[in-house]
């Protein structure tokens, strides 16, 4: 596709969403991750880097589409080679990118990411400022937001203005349109000015969400060091009165769930991990794809447990391949894994 066709506001790249009744709209950042060509090294030791599309909301949008669902992405990238590449990647993955905007002055965000030998992830971000931080309220595709069955977002857009106010405005539009609001804070401390600022902003929109997914580390961080495995900590400090579902992801061990009426645990699906990048986003896309088709599972524990097992399998498949977007699974791959893991258990 010619360069001129993908610049500007991308109005001509709208994709017919397969079913607007189940549309999942993801809001936030999309960027380029640079990952070392070898594992277990620091960024300084890496001999070379390979570029990969990244950004949790964009990963979730692709994950939903890969499962056969209907999804769209709203965010801003630079009017540069990387920005156009990211818009193209969404289009090729059947994600509606008509809500993307292009900044002529700021660049597409870059992140250098490595998994060191000690298992810790190391991040180096180039956002000074990057285009994703500059999305303004006037650039929002309000019609697209209003079509959302589910409106999904994170916390990284809350770090700086104007995108902080833009996210709040988008959430307000979605809520007024009857969308289910889905929140994955996706804590990235190096991007925040301080721990206190991160905690304050992440919690500032907590009570607006209908569905929240958090990790064990995020529980510890948000509660100031409390035990992430204690149900009372989760219920008293993080479960708000209007919340329909709170899910705590536990990586290979599966997840815990809390609703107004019931709580429990769903075990993980065992695989041999290669790269954990994007596993949480694949989990979220699996859950949101199920929810978009059937909101009644929020009130039906048996159906919810099935949906969470499915989401666990989505996350499990993603860790068997490198990268996030390339590793997002198809519906067939998830069903195959669930079938084989069930036969191993029986």
Active site amino acids:
281
Which three-class secondary structure string do you get for the chain? CCHHHHCCCCHHHCCCCCCHHHCEEEECCCEEEEEECCCECCCCCCCCEEEEEECHHHHHHHHHHHCCCCEEEEEEEECCHHHHHHHHHHHHCCCEEEEEEEECCCECCEEEEEEECCCCEEEEEECCCEHHHHCCHHHCCHHHHHCCCEEEECCHHHCCCCHHHHHHHHHHHHHHCCCEEEECCCCCHHHCCCHHHHHHHHHHCHHHCCEEEEEHHHHHHHCCCCCCCCHHHHHHHCCCCCCCEEEEECHHHCEEEECCCCEEEECCCCCCCCCCCCHHHHHHHHHHHHHHHCHHHHCCHHHHHHHHHHHHHHHHHHCCCCCCHHHCCCHHHHHHHHHHHHHHHC
CB 90, CB 66: distance < 8 Å: no
User: Cβ neighbours of residue 255 under 8 Å, at least 6 residues apart?
Assistant: 247, 248, 249, 265, 266, 268, 283, 308, 311, 312
The count of residues in the chain is: 346
């Amino acid at each position: 596709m010619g360069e001129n066709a993908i610049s500007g506001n991308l109005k001509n790249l709208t994709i017919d969403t397969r079913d607007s009744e189940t549309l999942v709209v993801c809001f936030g950042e999309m960027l380029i991750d640079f990952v070392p060509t070898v594992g277990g090294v620091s960024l300084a030791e890496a001999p070379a880097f390979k570029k990969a599309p990244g950004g949790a909301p964009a990963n979730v949008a692709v994950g939903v589409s890969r499962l056969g669902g209907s999804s769209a992405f709203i965010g801003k990238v630079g009017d540069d080679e990387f920005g156009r590449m990211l818009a193209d990647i969404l289009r090729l993955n059947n994600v509606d990118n008509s809500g993307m905007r292009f900044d002529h002055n700021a660049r597409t965000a870059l992140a250098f990411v490595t998994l060191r030998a000690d298992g810790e992830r190391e991040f180096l971000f180039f956002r000074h400022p990057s285009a994703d931080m500059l999305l303004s309220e006037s650039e929002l595709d309000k019609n697209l937001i209003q079509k959302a069955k589910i409106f999904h977002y994170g916390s990284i857009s809350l770090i700086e203005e104007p995108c902080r106010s833009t996210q709040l405005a988008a959430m307000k539009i979605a809520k007024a349109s009857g969308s289910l609001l889905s929140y994955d804070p996706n804590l990235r401390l190096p991007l925040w000015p301080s721990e206190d600022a991160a905690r304050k902003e992440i919690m500032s929109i907590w009570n607006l969400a209908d569905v929240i997914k958090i990790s064990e580390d995020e529980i510890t961080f948000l509660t100031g060091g409390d035990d992430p495995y204690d149900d009372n900590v989760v219920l008293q400090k993080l479960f708000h009165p209007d919340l329909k579902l709170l899910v705590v992801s536990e990586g290979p061990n599966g997840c815990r769930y809390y609703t107004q009426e019931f709580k429990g645990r769903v075990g993980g699906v065992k695989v041999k991990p290669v790269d954990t990048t994007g596993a949480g986003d694949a989990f979220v896309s699996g859950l949101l794809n199920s929810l978009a088709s059937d909101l009644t599972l929020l009130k039906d524990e048996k159906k919810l447990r099935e949906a969470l097992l499915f989401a666990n399998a989505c996350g499990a498949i993603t860790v068997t391949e490198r990268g996030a977007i390339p590793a997002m699974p198809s519906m067939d791959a998830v069903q195959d894994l669930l079938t084989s893991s069930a036969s191993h258990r029986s």
